[in-house]
Amino acid sequence: MSIWTILIAIFIFGVIIAIHEFGHFIAAKLNGIQVNEFAIGMGPKIFGFKKGETLYSLRLLPIGGFCSMEGEDQSSDNPRAYEKKKVWQRMIVVLAGAFMNILLGFVLLIVTTCMSELVPTRYVSQPQSVSCGTYGYNVNCWSLMCLEGDVNVSTSYECGLLPGDEIISVNGSHIWSITDFSYKIQTTDENDFTVVVRRDGEKVTLENVKFEHKLSGGRMDFKIVGEEKTFFNVVEFSFNDTIATGKLVWMSLGDLVTGKYGFHELSGPVGTISVISEAASSGDNWTETLNTLLSLTVFITVNVGIFNLLPIPGLDGSRFLFMVIEAIRRKPISKEREAMVHLVGMAALFLLMIAVTVQDITKFF
């Protein structure tokens, strides 16, 4: 890794943090809340400037950021304080950070889709009837399932998956795009799936479908139809793939909770920057490198958005949960009690971040 790729990685990580905090910031401003400080990074302040009532600062450690609002963590008599606003207004402010992260992912997916020659669909591509010669991949072949003499090597085809099928769900899980489909079949230990497809306008259920390329052994034993780009299919695919990416994050978290993935497979800011840096030095040309970086950024920013929605003390999801309870009770929970819960949660998260960072540094060296 060069210094330039590391700087690119830090820049991308900073943008993801900045867009999250900007969501809180702009929502607070629109709801008439006084913002005391808008900071990118944590720890000692490198530099800052004040404009109006708000201090804008850049801090040393690129591991987070914050939007400090008047009356957020302690009582204030200011009529523009956070605590003085209605519960639905505060809900908007809390959710705005995650929303902006997911919105960033959607916008970047539009960019990457526009950079592609074709827009992916959920339709199984038509196979060629001609001999494909030696084993390889061809954009017009249905997974290039041929050897000498046009021999099919797709197991899913033998199990009933046909060219022209639109994949609707796998093992009861709705498929939004190739992203969640690929994750589903690649990470499931058993190679035995129930696949629902739309064929000739009707839904057809295929039982005991196996995905395996007979030569490579990989699960992805077919390709999908690509459509010519239009405004509508670019937006539709980008929207669906944003949902698929979010779904992938949820499935990953579920796998983490169930023990499928362990602590040693977690990565923190250092590990994330390392991965981005490696992506910045990959690719045969700048277009491939940019596409890889943008795709990785999409996954990270959606990950940050969804993770912040979890009801873990210290995160936005926990703050939102307290507001839901307040809305039901028609009475806020004691600010001291809520602050203590968030304090304990943040302390636990920081300890986890330190442990993961040490692990990342160990892996790096």
- Segment 18-61, tens digit of pLDDT: 999 999 999 999 999 999 999 988 888 898 999 989 999 998 87
pLDDT grade, residue 152 (50/70/90)? low
pLDDT of residue 64: 76
pLDDT of residue 1: 61
Q: Is the pLDDT of residue 164 over 60?
A: yes
- Segment 256-280, tens digit of pLDDT: 777 777 777 777 777 777 777 777 7
- Segment 220-242, tens digit of pLDDT: 888 888 889 999 999 999 999 99
3-class SS letters over the chain: CCHHHHHHHHHHHHHHHHHHHHHHHHHHHHCCCCEEEEEEEEEEEEEEEEECCEEEEEEEEEEEEEEEECCCCCCCCCCCCHHHCCHHHHHHHHHHHHHHHHHHHHHHHHHHHHHCCCEEEEEECCCCCCCCCCCCCCCCCCCCCCCCCCCCCEHHHHCCCCCCCEEEEECCEECCCHHHHHHHHHHCCCCCEEEEEEECCEEEEEEEECCCECCCCCCCCCCEEEECCCHHHHHHHHHHHHHHHHHHHHHHHHHHHCCCCCHHHCCCHHHHHHHHHHHHCCCCCHHHHHHHHHHHHHHHHHHHHHHHCCCCCCCHHHHHHHHHHHHHHCCCCCHHHHHHHHHHHHHHHHHHHHHHHHHHHHHHC
Please report, for the chain, the start and end positions of each structural domain, with discontinuous segments joined by +: 3-115+291-364, 120-228
- Segment 277-300, tens digit of pLDDT: 777 777 778 888 888 889 999 999
* Model confidence, pTM: 0.82
CATH number, span 120-228? 2.30.42.10
